[in-house]
Amino acid sequence: MPKLDHVREELNEVFPQTSWVRGRSIAVLLPCYNEATSIADVVTDFRRALPSAKVYVYDNNSTDDTSGAANRAGAIVRAEPHQGKGSVVRRMLADVDADIYVLADGDATYNPDAAGHLIDVLVTRNLDMVVGTRAPTKGAYRRGHQTGNRFFNLAIQHLFGPGFSDILSGYRVLSRRFAKSFPATSTGFEIETELSVHALDLKIATAEIPLRYGARLAGSHSKLRTCRDGLRIFGALLWLYKEVKPLSFFGAIGVSLTIAAFGISLPLAWTYLETGLVPRLPTAILATGMVQLGVLSFAIGLVLDAIARGRREAKRMRYLDLQSVAEKT
């Protein structure tokens, strides 16, 4: 896959606005859980930055006044009973119909004024996803989050190829055909990883734009738990690798088992050549079983790879069936 276009802009919070709103419907999607402290400001800022857009707030079982604050600020408020950010994003993309989707968080860490610029890049370059990569201000990131983000970015590049430098960014602009062809399955914070892998798997045109990422407001707390959610994201990454590249996944298991089997069988082979005897029969049986499992794993990878190709073609056809943003220009 060719390297995705990285648009290097000055981080001075000045974003030129052009004619991207003409003839297009825009939906701002804000998944929220206990964000009463900040959601009103976020809704107000997005309504000011995108006057023609509809702002949707999906309340994910909040125990504070998130819904009330969002409603008073002028948002369209709906509820999603299934807990988790991935569940909310899946529901939002299914419910809301628009030409362009702006996906952000309700914690006031992303700059709504940048939305118009992200949309402009999406439309003028005929892209299907533009990611606002995070250039954090002091205190915006916890150290564990920084380390985890670097690790997952490197893992994505190694497993799926280069293309993204911040796969966990929650600030994205999506075209209609990307949003409606995205088979979201994640339930938690791994949804951003799934969005990125979907784009890499189908070789969808995307871009990244570095934006300032601020600290949360006083009284607002992150719902991301470093260890628990980090393990969930890592598990989702392995699952996506198995789904997208099953031959590589199961082939690696097969090769590892076969190498290990040869390693433990070498002393047996040497003894057999010297004496004509196999004194450690259980080890010989173990080595034989490991080789059989290795061959079986490789065969499973071949079968699943054919299935994955068919699924990829089906997703690609669904993606091509939907109208692109450029066709509305």
Q: What is the pLDDT of residues 184-228, one digit of tens each?
A: 888 888 899 999 999 999 999 999 999 888 766 655 566 666 677
Cβ count near 27 (within 10 Å): 24
Residue 14 has pLDDT above 80, yes or no: no
| Tokens of residue 56, six digits | 């949707």
Higher-scoring residue by pLDDT: 94, 134: 94
The CATH superfamily assigned to 5-243 is: Spore Coat Polysaccharide Biosynthesis Protein SpsA; Chain A (3.90.550.10)
How far, in Å, CA of 22 to CA of 307, rounded? Answer: 42
Residue 5 has pLDDT above 50, yes or no: no
Amino acid identity of residue 308, one-letter, is A
Least confident range from 51-55, 121-125, 269-273, 310-314: namely 269-273
For residue 78, the model assigns a pLDDT of 96
Residue 2: pLDDT band (50, 70, 90) is very low
How far, in Å, CA of 215 to CA of 118, rounded? Answer: 21
Residue 31: pLDDT band (50, 70, 90) is very high
How far, in Å, CA of 119 to CA of 117, rounded? Answer: 5
Residue 140 has pLDDT above 60, yes or no: no
How far, in Å, CA of 262 to CA of 110, rounded? Answer: 54
How far, in Å, CA of 210 to CA of 309, rounded? Answer: 34
Tokens 């209609």 locate to 176
pLDDT, tens only, 39-58: 999 999 999 999 999 999 99
Ordered by start, the domain boundaries in the chain are 5-243, 246-321
| Tokens of residue 126, six digits | 């005929």
What average pLDDT does this structure show over 82-88?
93
Coil, strand, or helix at residue 190? coil
Residue 102: pLDDT band (50, 70, 90) is very high
Q: How far is CA 277 from CA 35, 121, 270, 271, 273, in A?
A: 72, 72, 10, 7, 8
Higher-scoring residue by pLDDT: 5, 317: 317
- CA 8 from chain center: how many Å? 22
CB 215 within 8 A of CB 175: no
pLDDT, tens only, 59-72: 999 999 999 999 99
Cβ count near 258 (within 10 Å): 19
| Tokens of residue 61, six digits | 């079982």
Cβ count near 244 (within 10 Å): 19
Tokens 């260890």 locate to 227
For residue 89, the model assigns a pLDDT of 95
The burial of 125, by beta-carbon neighbours within 10 Å (0-12 exposed, 13-18 middle, 19 or more buried), is given as middle
| Tokens of residue 121, six digits | 């890049």
Higher-scoring residue by pLDDT: 52, 14: 52
Share of the chain above pLDDT 70, in %: 84
Give the pTM.
0.83
pLDDT, tens only, 158-186: 999 888 888 889 999 999 999 999 998 88
For residue 96, the model assigns a pLDDT of 95
Cβ count near 114 (within 10 Å): 22
Residue 37 has pLDDT above 80, yes or no: yes
